Amino acid sequence: MLGELALALLPRGITPKSFSILARGAFVRAAAANSRLKNGKVNHSKVAAITGLPRKEVRRMLNRTGACLEPDMSTRMPSERVVQGWLTDQRFLTQKGDPKSLLFEGARFSFRQLVKEYGGDISPRAVLEDLVDSRRVHHVGERLKLQISKLPTQTTGLGALTRVIPSLVDGLRIASRRPTSSIDSSLYRLKLHAPSTVELALLRERCSTSIQSMLCGLSESLEHQLTVPPRKHSSSRHMLTVTVLLVDAGPAAG
C-alpha cells in the first residue's frame, strides 16, 4: 500500500520528509481520538505513550489549527528548492530581477553552484535531468534557461487522487473494523475480462451506466422504506455510504 502511495505522491511533490510530517500528525490525532479524559480533554501522556513521540511534540501537533503541511523549504524536492533559489537569490538574477541563463559549470554563478546552494547533496546532473524532463529548464546553446511559463502558479495538490480518496477511506474503515464483523459481508468485487481495448471501453461504459442507475434506484427505493424519513438538510448521526469504484487494471496477467 505504501509503495502505491509513493508512486502516486512523488510526482505531486510530496517528499518522504513532508509525508513523515503529515503522517506524524495523523497518528497523533488518531491516538488522541481514543485518549480522552472524562472531562473531554486529551490525555497527552497517553498519546505520547501510544505513538512514542515526546509530550511536547504531541501538544504542539494537537494545538495546530489544521492538518495542512506547513510551507517549509526543507520538505520540498531538491529541484523545487533549486528553482526557488533561482527565482529569489540575487546572485542568480539579472538587474531586472529575471532568472539568469546559467552555464552548467565553470562560471562563478553556475548551475552547479546553484544546486550546491539549494539542492543539498543531490548531483547537479540529476537535478538538471529532472528539470529538463519537466520542461522547467531548457538548453539555449551552452546555457540553461529557466522556463517561467512552465512553473506552477500554485500548489498542484493531489489532483485526480482526490476522486479516489473517499473510496480508499471507505475500504480502510471496512478493513479496520473489529474481528467480530465480517469484511466479506461489506466488500464485493467483480472482475470482467475484455478481449480488446474496444471491448474494454464498452464494458466500462456499460458498467458506469448500470452503476449510476443502481445507485439512483437504491436512493429512491430505500429512502421511501425508512420508518422515519430523514429531513432534508438536517444533520444525521447515522449514515450508510455505498461506494463503487471501477478500476481499469490493464492487460490481464497470463
Q: What is the mean pLDDT of the chain?
A: 80
pLDDT at residue 106 is higher than 80: yes
pLDDT at residue 105 is higher than 70: yes
pLDDT at residue 254 is higher than 50: no
Residues 6 or more apart from 131 whose CB is under 8 A from it?
A: 79, 82, 83, 137
pLDDT at residue 252 is higher than 60: no
The predicted model gives 107-132 an average pLDDT of 89
**What pLDDT is recorded for position 19?**
86
pLDDT at residue 161 is higher than 80: no
> By three-state DSSP, how is residue 75 classified?
helix
The four Cα atoms 135, 140, 144, 148 give a dihedral, to 10 degrees, of -50
Closest CA to 247 of 196, 169, 192: 192
pLDDT at residue 171 is higher than 90: no
What is the DSSP secondary structure assignment for residue 129, as one 8-state letter? H
State the pairing for strand pair 143-146/137-140.
antiparallel
Percent of the residues in the chain that have a pLDDT greater than 90, as a whole number: 14
Question: Which of 32-36, 72-76, 167-171 shows the lowest per-residue confidence on average (mean pLDDT)?
Answer: 72-76
Question: Which of 41-55, 72-86, 228-242 shows the lowest per-residue confidence on average (mean pLDDT)?
Answer: 228-242
**What pLDDT is recorded for position 172?**
78
Amino acid letter, residue 225? Q
pLDDT tier at 152, thresholds 50, 70, 90: low
Amino acid letter, residue 167? S
Residues 6 or more apart from 51 whose CB is under 8 A from it?
A: 24, 27, 28, 31, 58
Amino acid letter, residue 36? R
At 207-239, the pLDDT tens digits run 999 999 998 888 888 877 666 655 555 556 777
DSSP element (H, E) containing 138? strand 137-140
**What pLDDT is recorded for position 153?**
54
pLDDT tier at 96, thresholds 50, 70, 90: confident
pLDDT at residue 253 is higher than 50: no
The predicted model gives 31-50 an average pLDDT of 86
Question: Which of 25-34, 35-44, 115-124, 164-173 shows the lowest per-residue confidence on average (mean pLDDT)?
Answer: 164-173
Q: Where do we find the cell 467483480?
A: 190
**What pLDDT is recorded for position 209?**
92
DSSP element (H, E) containing 146? strand 143-146
Question: Which of 15-24, 194-203, 231-240 shows the lowest per-residue confidence on average (mean pLDDT)?
Answer: 231-240
Task: Annotate 154-212 with DSSP letters as a single string.
Answer: S---STTHHHHHHHHHHHHHHHTS-TTS-STTT--------SSHHHHHHHHHHHHHHHH
pLDDT at residue 182 is higher than 70: no
pTM of the model: 0.52
Distance between CA atoms of 27 and 31, rounded to whole angstroms? 6
pLDDT tier at 150, thresholds 50, 70, 90: low
**What pLDDT is recorded for position 104?**
93
Closest CA to 41 of 62, 56, 60, 23: 62
